[in-house]
Structure 1
Amino acid sequence: MSSIMSMCDQKERILLIQTGGTIDKEYPKTNLGYAFEVTDAAVRRILPRARVGVAYDVKTICQKDSQDISDVDRENLAKACLETPSKRILVTHGTDTMIETAAYLSSRVVDKLIVLTGAFLPETFKSTDAEFNVGFAMGTLQALTTHGIFIAMNGHIILWSECTRNKDTGMFEKK
């Protein structure tokens, strides 16, 4: 067994939580053009293709664009994080309010490792970053040995309180 895999107890299941965002969007053709809709959790398609060798469960909290996520949704997310026996949690989230949700969780969930990730293009697009970001986040969950709330985007893992989004590039980076 690899050293990374041994850091995450094989009996422990990782909880993956869907909140929506671009990662889960599809753009079906409608009579008047295209309109997005948030669909089934992208991780349900990504992880089997990636042949992930750790046990996980998927839970949906909401299916919203991140600009529409409310504090009620965030409280439901925090409650799910607190109630699960899993100590390692991956949250897929829209990029626009990912840092705000991480801040909200940090004041309510203190004894778990939570990693938030998302995508700039939907998982269904050929040129998406979704698969990379989810894989990177899953690796992060297994490699980190501390608790806390982290953002995993653009090949960076950043403690939420040290994370910012560059207004010019849209990329997540350390403050």
Structure 2
Amino acid sequence: MCDQKERILLVQTGGTIDKDYPKTNLGYAFEITEAAVRRILPRARVGVGYDIKTICQKDSQDIEDVDREKLAIACLETHSKRILVTHGTDTMLETAAYLSTRVVDKFVVLTGAFLPETFKSTDADFNVGFAMGTLQALTKHGIFIAMNGQITLWSECRRNKDTDMFEKV
């Protein structure tokens, strides 16, 4: 269980969760802005300390191994034993697989959203809240996926192509 004095590191990589309407005139595409957790966690009244770090602000389809390595280094260098990574859903499992080869003695949970946090009907608040809660309760080190109300070890998780949901294999 998470010690009350232990701080959680929240890491932004981008993805739909952080997307917002463009700030430029006549823009059509979304842009990735500040970490959505900066807005979500105060609303959720989270009772544990946390720090936020941005690794990149990319759509997950644009994340490369160089970004994954920066993420792994951030996980390895932090004093925090519990880390929440917000990530796009398209390549979340690939990033989890990469981290599993580098980060072995920490609790790492990846989560994201199917709709941007700025949307009223988003799943971002639920997913981040669920991920924060389960991250604190984990007793086994590893890389986990927290999506659709489930926490799953990354290697036992898949994304169902028919339902678009993450599920245990």
3-state DSSP of counterpart to 1:34? coil
Partner in structure 1 of residue 56 of structure 2: 62
- The answer to whether 1:47 aligns with 2:41 is yes
- How far the C-alpha of 1:172 sits from its partner, in A, is 0.2
Question: 2:74 aligned with 1:85, yes or no?
Answer: no
Aligned to 1:142: 136
Q: 1:118 aligns with which of 112, 120, 138?
A: 112
Q: Which runs of 5+ in 2 are unaligned?
A: none
Q: Which residue of 2 aligns with 1:34?
A: 28
- Give CA-to-partner distance per residue, 1:30-64, whole Å, 9 cap, x none: 55452110000000000000000000000000000
1:64 and 1:27 map into 2 onto residues whose CA distance is 15
Q: Percent identity?
A: 88
1:130 is aligned to 124
Residue 161 of structure 2 is matched in structure 1 by: 167
1:11 aligned to 2:5?
Answer: yes
Q: Which residue of structure 2 lines up, in the alignment, with residue 153 of structure 1?
A: 147
Structure 1 runs of 4+ with >4 Å offset: 29-33
Q: Distance in 2 between matches of 1:33 and 1:15?
A: 33
Deviation sequence 1:114-153 (CA, Å, 0-9, x none)? 0000000000000000000000000011111111000000
Q: Which residue of 1 aligns with 2:18?
A: 24
Of residues 32-41 and 94-103 in structure 1, the stretch that sits farther from structure 2 once superposed is: 32-41
Does residue 76 in structure 1 map to residue 70 in structure 2? yes
Deviates more, 1:31-40 or 1:57-66: 31-40
| Letter in structure 2 aligned against 1:149 | I
TM value normalised by structure 1? 0.94
Gapped regions of structure 1 (runs ≥ 5): 1-6
* Distance of 1:107 and 1:157 partners within structure 2: 20
Shift of 1:10: 1.2
Cα distance change on mapping 1:83 and 1:29 into 2, 3 Å: closer
Asked if 1:107 is matched to 2:69, the reply is no
Q: RMSD value over aligned CA atoms?
A: 1.0
What code does the residue aligned with 2:134 have? T
Specify the SS of the correspondent of 2:120: coil
Q: Does structure 2 retain, via aligned residues, the 8 Å contact 1:16–1:59?
A: yes
TM-score by length of 2: 0.97
